[in-house]
Structure 1
Amino acid sequence: MKLNQFEISILPQIIFGAGTIKKLPEKITNYGKKVLLITGDSSLSKSDYWTQLQSDFFDLKIELIVFKVSDEPSAKLVDQAVSKFQYSSIEVVVGIGGGSVLDAAKAIAGLLPFGNSIMDHLEGVGKGIEYLGSALPFIAVPTTAGTGSEATKNAVISERGENGYKKSFRHETLVPKLAIVDSELLISCSAAQIAANGMDAFTQLIESYVSTKANHFTDALALDGIKAVVEGFIFAWQGGNTKDAIFGRNKMAYASLISGITLAQVGLGSVHGLASPLGAFFPIPHGVVCGTLLAEATRVNITAMNQREPKNIALEKYSHIGKMLLEDEVLKSKITQQKSLDYLVQVLHEWTTMLKIPKLSNYGVTKQKFDKIISECRGSSMQTNPIVLLDNEIEVILNKRL
């Protein structure tokens, strides 16, 4: 098969593995000793590793200023942090937390050197002023396995409500200088968090694999990430401190990281296209949106391609994922493409049910809001969906998960 041209954007230095959080203090000193540490509400201070980290910070004469993020970051929160710490001589920003924490930290690191509002640069809703950088050095330490924000150049900023939005602040210099991905940090995640975050990572891997911009490089990564999800997701979700659970968390930390790398390079698809307005207009966690829509969006994509673009390469790719989910090696070699496509959709539906992913109506979504949701869903993510979906096809996705 011919290798077509492709480009790969900048990536962070990556340190992966159980226990690697211990390397954080020493790594910080590569960039400075005055640190803005951005975390969630309380998970860090209550964790087993926080006491040792504090001791190491003290020994290395690292000065910490802590800022906490309790929800998806808004423009107001980012601007408040920038205003508060602009003259604090911060040398490096460290984010330890889930995707919301990392996105907030990424945006704050980008704006601290300049002190201006994020609304100057926010795509689609801002003033359209080009961001030229450079950001302060940023170290990302994810404590969930879902968004892959530790590997991307964009910070997602949200404003919820009737006129809400979810938009990106995006630039190459916002990519973390270092990502420390330690699967032991996932131990504090609830089963519901593992379920929603895991479906987010799985969605990102599948959508980037079938993206219209996909290439051989990202395909290889995406497939390895999908393999990790198949092998470890359910074990991670079942939880505990068994050998299987530890194995599962390790696999999901890896899958999430890879999903961030692939989405940053080639984009996503219809699930994330819909996630933007749904997350803006309703109080739906991002992972829940992905988890609840993935099976039906996959089915609609496959149906549309079978009807209008039967030679679309994404059908072959979806079929390959279906075969990866099969445990019977003999059946893998004999199953037809359509049956493996059907099996993929079947498993995705089964996982959605088993993981108890809530439906859209649980968060106030009604049919009366469909037109507005659909009108706002055709942003950058929808542009790389493997087929252009019609409005009535998008409505089917929403209706099935209402």
Structure 2
Amino acid sequence: MAAKWPLCYVTAMIFPFSFASTPHIQFGAGMRIKLADIAQVYGSRILLVTGGRSFDESVMCDELWRQLQSGFELRRVRVSGEPSPQLVDDTVAEHRSWNPDAVVAIGGGSVVDAAKAIAGLLPSGDSVMEYLEGVGRGKAFKGPSTPFIALPTTAGTGGETSKNAVLSIVGADGYKKSFRDESLVARHIILDPELTLSCPKKVTASCGMDAFTQLLESYVSSNASPMTDALALSGLEQIRDSLLTAVENGENIDARAGMLYASSISGLTLANAGLGSVHGLASPLGAFFPMPHGEVCGSLLFHAVRINIEAMHKRDPNNRALFRYAEVGRLLCNSSNISDNQARDALLSILEEWTVKLAMPRLSDYGVEEGDFSRIIANISSGSMATNPIKLEESEIMELLRSRL
């Protein structure tokens, strides 16, 4: 049995912070049976957003499809790969006159993000380009949003608990940008680990490393609070106990439940505390190269943490994130009787070991070359880098990229 661990480290003084609202969450094996009752509250017309083959080949998803067909007017939208602004706009244009009473997402992070944006724009019919950060027209989103219900089938992005929908154009002039507003948050989330049992080993590994990265980055974030600390550490404990087992034995429902919890919690912590250098680089890497987001995170995490620790030792040895990295090291190796330096070394050893064990790809596997570094850095996500525990110099970011080439 895993050792008990304190939920968070809180200093004597709690500084002011804010925490965004959370949706109604139903967690547990078999909870998917509640979908029809929940959806019925909103009306009879359901726009269902799903993946493609993964949904069609799932016995449990087929059961949900039949259940919805028997009680609702139902239309389905399929999402393959990263959702684009064009997909969102085309879906809104096609179904707005039908006036769905609710949008239901059953799928992974891409499905959830697409559905979230579609639900937000159905009432107005606006293009998402009116609101997309950094590349849109800068219009302030006023809402309302069509009621949105999410049932994730992967454990990675935690997008079901956050207010932002990430949309992408992949290619030389690509981008990954967010459409975000509090009104986009799901009204109901059903976290049923049985829906993740059929998730392939490779996807389980990369999604799991995404959740791991989000929890760790939000815990050491310069914007972390006692609430996000408590949530992040509870999620990291589940990562410790569940990730490797979920990858190696996908039928283990306890491990699947642990990862689904950790993933969903990571969506709450990233939304309220922010992220760090891994996600700062994941945005341009995922935009310019066809590299799945979780694989970017899994590839960069070890070296990002190493470089952060080295930079703080050199320039900011009293940075609280050094202590926090040590706390995570103790948690992951289940040992409270080691020094801070030993704990940080243990953290780095675990991250390096898991990078290899989970077969995280190198950046060059997706066509990244050293000549691309300047363009990647020029398009780094300033929002994520703003809450990295220390401001990294360009040479350190170059080292991070080079270390995974």
Q: Do Structure 1 and Structure 2 share a fold, with TM-score over 0.5?
A: yes
Contact 1:235 1:247 in 2 (8 A): no
The alpha-carbon deviation at position 50 of structure 1 amounts to 3.4
Residue type of the alignment partner of 2:289: F
Asked if 1:47 is matched to 2:50, the reply is no
Q: Which of the numbers 207, 218, 227 marks the counterpart of 1:197?
A: 207
Matched, 1:160 2:167: no
1:157-306 to 2 correspondence within 5 Å?
157-241=167-251, 245-306=252-313
Q: How far 1:49 moved relative to its partner? A: 1.9
- Residue number in structure 2 paired with 1:382: 385
Distance 1:54 1:392 in 2: 52
Contact 2:278 2:301 in 1 (8 A): yes
Give the deviation of 1:239 after TM superposition. Answer: 2.1
User: How many angstroms does 1:186 deviate by?
Assistant: 1.0
Quote the Cα distance in structure 2 between the aligned partners of 1:353 and 1:52: 37
1:22 alignment counterpart: 33
Task: Point out where structure 1 has 5 or more consecutive residues left out of the alignment.
Answer: none
Which of 377, 396, 401 is the matching residue for 1:398? 401
Q: How far did 1:51 drift? A: 4.2
Is residue 2:177 matched to residue 1:151? Answer: no
Matched residue, 2:365: 362
Please list the CA deviations of residues 36-68 of structure 1 after superposition, one character each: whole Å capped at 9, or x if unmatched.
000001222322223432443344x31110000
**TM alignment of 1:317-332, pairs within 5 A:** 317-327=324-334, 329=335, 332=336
Post-superposition, which runs of at least 4 consecutive aligned residues in structure 1 deviate over 6 A?
none
C-alpha contact 2:198 2:250 (8 A) present in aligned 1:
no
- Show the 5 A alignment for 1:27-38: 27-38=38-49
Amino acid at match of 1:188: S
Partner letter of residue 377 of structure 2? I
1:313 matches 2:320: yes
Counterpart check, 1:80 vs 2:80: no
Q: Contact between 2:305 and 2:348, CA under 8 Å: does it hold in 1? A: yes
The one-letter amino acid of 1:158's match is S
Partner secondary structure for residue 124 of structure 2? coil
* Offset from partner CA, 1:84-117 (integer Å, 9 cap, x none): 1110121100011000000000000000111111
Task: State percent identity of aligned pairs.
Answer: 50
Other structure's SS at 2:312 match: helix
Partner AA of 2:354 in structure 1: W
Matched, 1:124 2:131: no
- CA contact under 8 A between 1:269 and 1:381: conserved in structure 2? yes
Secondary structure, counterpart of 1:86 in structure 2: helix
Alignment-mate amino acid for residue 107 of structure 1: A
Q: How does 1:68-107 map to 2 (within 5 A)?
A: 68-107=78-117
8 A contact 2:238–2:259 mirrored in 1: yes
Contact 2:250/2:256 (8 A) holds in 1: no
Shift of 1:379: 1.8
Query: Residue 166 of structure 1 aligns to a residue in which SS?
Result: strand
SS of aligned partner of 2:150 = strand
Deviations 1:237-291 (A, max 9, x none): 10243xxx22111100000010001111111000000000000000000000000
Letter of the structure 1 residue corresponding to residue 291 of structure 2: I
Segments of 5+ residues of structure 2 without an aligned counterpart are 1-11
Structure 2 length-normalised TM:
0.96
Matches of 1:212 and 1:51, distance apart in 2: 44
1:3 corresponds to? 14
How far apart, CA to CA, are the structure 1 residues paired with 2:150 and 2:211? 17
Which TM-score applies when normalising by structure 1? Answer: 0.96
Write the letter of the residue equivalent to 1:161.
G
**Which letter maps to 2:403?**
K
Between the aligned partners of 2:381 and 2:315, the Cα distance in structure 1 is 20
Aligned residue pairs total 394
